[in-house]
Structure 1
Amino acid sequence: MNIDFHYGVVYIVARVGGMTPSQALTVAHACQYVDDATTPGILRFQGGETFERFATAHKTFDYANTENDQNRLVWAPFHFLPAGEGATLDEKAVCRADSAVAREVVRRAIRQRSTEMGLHRLGVTLHTYVDTWAHQGFAGIESPGNRVHSLEAQDCTRTGWLENLTLAMQHLVQHVEADVLTLALPVGHGAALHYPDQPWAKWHYIDGRNMFIQRHNLPEFVEAADMACRAVRAYVAGREDFENEEGMPQNVKATLTELLDTNRIMDDNERLRAICEFVKEGGIPGLKEAIPDYVPKGVGSWKYKATGLRAEDDSGEKPVWGEAFEKSDYRLFHDAVKQHRFVTTQEVLPAHGLRIA
């Protein structure tokens, strides 16, 4: 899933689920920031203080990352949560929608609601949870099961002959890309291109196990939003059995379904802008407000507010450590990330018969 879902849709379901605008913003920002926190390592301060960070994503197009140990600490716990189903490691590492592992990870996040990082932890966890719908069938470790062959998508847009010719050429190129990438990218859904992350996409392929896989993202994305709403309601109520909470009201679900189906702008940031405008105009029943802009890097970002650093990486600069950093969303996010990764890889997955870190 992309920023239109992780930030825009998650903000909507957080508000519908009973959170205040401020709470919903923190959850949505943390949810999206999982895709943007690409700087790992020790942050060093001028006075000698240090703070450890884990990257929750590799930089652009780094599905080709060949360090499998690093993949297991980034892609698996944050983007391709293993379901722990099957007999072999390759089988257990495959991500499945709304798996028992995924529900347990959500419950663990709800259990931390009273901590200072509770909202950030929920946002990180919701990123992982909703991605189980988009990334199902793929694994966050090197696996032959991630191979993709005969990738095709059904385009449902109304276009003229020139646009259809262009689309036909694009599909031809994508066929070649998929066949090449399936050999080059053994981790995640890199060889499936952008299809797993488009809310409206209908697509099919033959996987590395020679199984024909047919996908329709729209109902799966709506289900993911509905379950995320249940998780928010449970978090607000202090209950861990989130699956028993009510999801989105039917009128909200119908409206969101229509929005995700018709908002087919290829640029995911532009799709987010369309969602924000829709909410601002009162398109979602019972919700009419402005969603604040999301700033991933540089001035205005969580990192900048906490440290004053403008660059994407640290660039050798050392900020001043103090109370502002300790109370910052940036610090709380990274502490939530560390907790999520530990609980997922060291407690939940081993309890389901899988040790990957």
Structure 2
Amino acid sequence: MQIDGHHTLTYVISRYAGIEHRLAEKVAYAAQYVDEATNDNPIYFDNGAMYDRIVSAHKMLDYRNTQNLANHLVWIPFHFLPGNEGLPSGVEPDGQFIHRLICRPDSWVARDMLTMVASHWGQPYAAHLMGIAMHVYADTFAHQGFAGVIHDYNKVDNLGSSSSSLLQRIKNDLLSDSISASSPLGHGAALSFPDRPYVSWAYKNGEGNTIERDNTTIFLQAAEAMCKVLQWWNQGDFEVSIDNQRGLTTEQRSKIEHALRTIKNDDGEVRHAIWIEWLREGRFGFDPVDLTFDIDGENSWKQQARGRGFVQGGQLVYPYSKAFLDSDWKHFHDALKTYRLEIIRDVLPAYGICIA
């Protein structure tokens, strides 16, 4: 998914799950910020304190995308959660290891990831951690059929969509073929097709199987599943199964479907701006809200936490404040580190999957 899915759609679903505005805003911001946290340089403060962080995404032209370790630490845990071929823990599938790394919607692995996240419910970073989980969980639907490593399985052939013109299809084929040949990482060779909610498309995967996708149906399935998880998390009663939650009402599902089908633009930022406007107009059945997502600037989590940097002794430093310890930016990065550690150390090894 792109920013319209990870930010605004996640916010709407959170509100439909009964989460109040401020907390829903925090969950949605964290969900999108997973795609923005591309810098792992430590932060130095003017009093000698420092804070270390990790990345949860690389830009597509980042050299780190060619490094296996970087892919294991970023793309696998945060964007292409392994599906273990749809089998529960303790059941080791036959066949190649790559098949176990392929992302599958709402897998047993994903459910165990959610249980791990819920165990941190009482922590100050709980909402930020759930936002990260919502990013990963949504991507198990949108990124299904691809793996977060460079592998021939991710190659794409005969990429096409009825919504593309002949000229655009030719351009897509050329770009897709180039990526398939040089660096088939994740759904890179499928371009942005998996992330556009209104598109129906098809392709032939690296094993020669023809795959057909209706993204609106897939995104609606993700929305329903996310709503149940957020209802479960919001109640804090983890003895009750996720599957026993009511999920979306008919009216809520209809409003989401209308937005997914109606807001058509290849640019995720443009679609996001329309979702923001619809929220201001109160089109989703709750009071109008002015939702924003600022990566930089005074309203960003980053600047609110760190302030403006300045050079001290030849090094960029930030003014230290005790408020930093309880800032959303620090809580997000605390959650990011917690998530990656427990996914790699605990969740995936229970399935016999060893990464990084």
For the aligned pair, the TM-score class normalised by the smaller chain equals over 0.9
Counterpart among 185, 205, 208 of residue 207 in structure 1: 205
Structure 2-normalised TM-score?
A: 0.92
Partner of 2:102: 94
Greater alpha carbon shift after TM alignment, 318-327 vs 66-75: 318-327
Moved more, 292-301 or 243-252: 292-301
Q: Does the CA-based 8 Å contact 1:64-1:185 persist in structure 2?
A: no
Q: Deviations over 1:137-194 (max 9, x none)?
A: 1111222111111111121xxxxxxxx8xx2211111111111111122211111001
Q: Which residue of 1 aligns with 2:244?
A: 244
Alpha carbons of structure 1 residues 186 and 331: separation in structure 2 relative to 1, 3 Å: same
State TM-score, norm by structure 1. 0.92
Corresponding residue number in structure 1 for 2:193: 195
1:206–1:62 distance in 2 versus 1, CA, 3 Å:
farther
Deviations 1:101-122 (A, max 9, x none): 0111112112211111000000
Identical-pair percentage: 34
**Corresponding letter in the other structure for 1:70:** A
Classify 1:356/1:106 alpha carbon distance in 2 versus 1 (closer, same or farther; 3 Å).
same
Question: For this pair of structures, how many residues does the alignment match?
Answer: 343
Q: Which residue of 2 aligns with 1:229?
A: 227
Question: What letter is aligned with 1:45?
Answer: F
For residue 308 of structure 1, report the CA deviation from its aligned partner: 1.7
Residue 265 of structure 1 is matched in structure 2 by 265
Whole-angstrom distance in 2 between the partners of 1:316 and 1:174: 45
- AA at the equivalent of 1:128: V
RMSD (CA atoms): 1.7
Aligned counterparts of 1:316 and 1:208: Cα–Cα separation in 2: 48
Measured in 1, the distance between the counterparts of 2:128 and 2:224 equals 20
Unaligned runs of 5+ in 2: 86-92
The alpha-carbon deviation at position 55 of structure 1 amounts to 0.6
Query: Per-residue deviation at 1:236?
Result: 1.2
Q: Which residue does 1:154 correspond to in 2?
A: 162
Deviates more, 1:207-216 or 1:273-282: 273-282
Long gaps (5+) in structure 1 = 156-163
Residue 173 of structure 1 aligns to a residue whose secondary structure is helix
Q: In the aligned structure 1, how far is the partner of 2:64 from the partner of 2:208?
A: 22
Helix, strand or coil at the partner of 2:66: coil
Equivalent AA in structure 1 for residue 206 of structure 2:
G
1:201-250, CA deviations, whole angstroms, 9 ceiling, x for partnerless residues?
A: 11111111111111111111011111111111111111333232111111
The match for 1:107 among 82, 93, 115 is 115
**Secondary structure of the corresponding residue to residue 84 of structure 2:** coil
- Aligned to 2:74, the other structure's residue is in SS state helix
Distance 2:259 2:325 in 1: 39
Counterpart among 127, 139, 143 of residue 147 in structure 2? 139
Distance 2:346 2:180 in 1: 32
Whether the 8 Å contact between 1:63 and 1:190 is mirrored in structure 2 is: no
In 1: Cα distance, 2:3 partner to 2:102 partner: 23
How far does the alpha carbon of each residue in 1:42-83 deviate from its partner, in whole angstroms, 9 at most, with x for none? 222222222111111112444981111011100010000011
Q: Decide which moves more: 180-189 or 26-35.
A: 180-189
* 1:14-163 superposed matches below 5 A: 14-62=14-62, 65-85=65-85, 86-87=93-94, 88-155=96-163
Contact 2:103 2:146 in 1 (8 A): yes
